[in-house]
Amino acid sequence: MKQPTILDVAERAGVSKSLVSLVMREPERVSDASREAVLQAAAELGYRPNAVARSLVRRRTGVIGVVLSDLHNPFFADVADGIEEAAFERGYRAMLSSGFLNPKRERGAVETMLELRVDGLIMLGSMMKVPKIERVASSLPVALLGRHTRSKDLDSVGVDDSAGAQEAVEHLVSLGHSEIVHIHAGSAAGSPRRRSGYEKAMRRHGLEPRLVKGAFTESGGAKAMQEILDSGNLPTAVFAPNDFAALGAMEVIDAAGLDIPGDISLVGYDNLALAGLPRISLTTIGQPRADLGREAVHLVLERLDGDRKSARHVVVPPNLVVRNTSGPPRS
């Protein structure tokens, strides 16, 4: 059970510990004979370098911490894939931890990461307050993802939500819609920008914005949609704040016996995998998820390696994905 150390290997190979260390790190700088001896001894003993000791002396762990607010959100899973991928390519490892949609637990997760001395931190859909995150950023590079900030200390990468919302509206308008309601998610991360994009595009076409408050959840979307139906003033299209909310709205519309898109068009946001299921087939706004993750890694490593000091805020454009929930308005 006890793991062999570099000293055990050195002894068995008849060389010094320094040489073993060198073989592990830069084998080409060691003579063939020594290298073979060390490698063989290591294999025989089942030696595995102790990353803990290495991190201690190097003062680098080679680990990028990722705190994601919710493991179940497939959006984060895609982003995390991009992160792991990019980190791996650059010789780093990613270590994930969940915040369980709870700011307190998220804080705990961050604290743990700091104690473990991760080299950089990526926060996915964080629920913590910006000043708190800024304090964290004073001891290591931090990149915020899926949330906008103008902070001078924090890097961020996000999608241009306003542009995405405008695309959604443009799409509906081009189909002939003029009564387009937007369900918004209050001040939840991302919602204000989507809302302002919606309003901007509506006004550009001389249309009257109509807002209903919902949330980024299925039930939030359902509640809002019910409110719309109950108002007696049925719009020809609904633009939801995300796919989950759209799903909730879809259920309510179905239950009311209305047809999508015959009676009402529906557009979501996020392009979750489930939006592509044939029975759902939701028109929505897609985001280059894995790219977001890669970009975040990039930002962190940029600070780590080249020590850039000023914050960078990367914004990538979204794209419209047309499916079967949007069509011409009912006549």
Residue identified by tokens 């939840």 is 188
The distance of Cα 76 from the centroid of its chain, to the nearest Å, equals 4
Q: How far is 159 from 44, CA to CA, in rounded Å?
A: 51
CB atoms within 10 A of CB 215: 22
Taking residues 38 to 57 in sequence order and writing x for each that binds DNA by CB under 7 A, - otherwise, the string is: ---------x-xx--xx-xx
Pairing mode of beta strands 180-184, 63-68: unpaired
Rg value, the chain, Cα: 26
Minimum Å distance from CB 114 to DNA? 11
Should residue 78 be labelled a site residue for a second copy when binding is judged by CB under 8 A? Answer: yes
Of 1-9, 70-78, 184-192, 248-256, which segment contacts DNA by CB under 7 A? 1-9
Q: In the set 30, 137, 238, 280, which binds DNA (CB under 7 A)? A: 30
Residue identified by tokens 């409110």 is 227
Which of a second copy, DNA, none does 247 bind, CB closer than 5 to 8 A by kind? a second copy
Should residue 44 be labelled a site residue for a second copy when binding is judged by CB under 8 A? Answer: no
Residues 121-180 that bind a second copy (CB under 8 A): 138-139
Should residue 280 be labelled a site residue for a second copy when binding is judged by CB under 8 A? Answer: yes
Nearest Cα to 148, choosing from 292, 308, 298, 294?
292
Taking residues 85 to 124 in sequence order and writing x for each that binds a second copy by CB under 8 A, - otherwise, the string is: --------xxxxxx-x----------xx-xxxx-------
SS3 216: coil
Should residue 291 be labelled a site residue for a second copy when binding is judged by CB under 8 A? Answer: no
Which of a second copy, DNA, none does 17 bind, CB closer than 5 to 8 A by kind? DNA
Specify whether the CB–CB gap between 30 and 38 falls below 8 A: yes
Specify whether the CB–CB gap between 126 and 157 falls below 8 A: no
Residue identified by tokens 């970009």 is 295
Q: How far is 190 from 243, CA to CA, in rounded Å?
A: 13
Question: Which spans of this chain sit near a second copy (rule: CB under 8 A)?
Answer: 1, 3, 46, 48-53, 55-56, 61, 63, 71-72, 74, 77-78, 80-81, 84, 93-98, 100, 111-112, 114-117, 138-139, 247, 250-251, 254-255, 273-274, 277-280
Question: Which spans of this chain sit near DNA (rule: CB under 7 A)?
Answer: 3, 5-7, 15-19, 21-22, 24-25, 29-31, 33-34, 47, 49-50, 53-54, 56-59
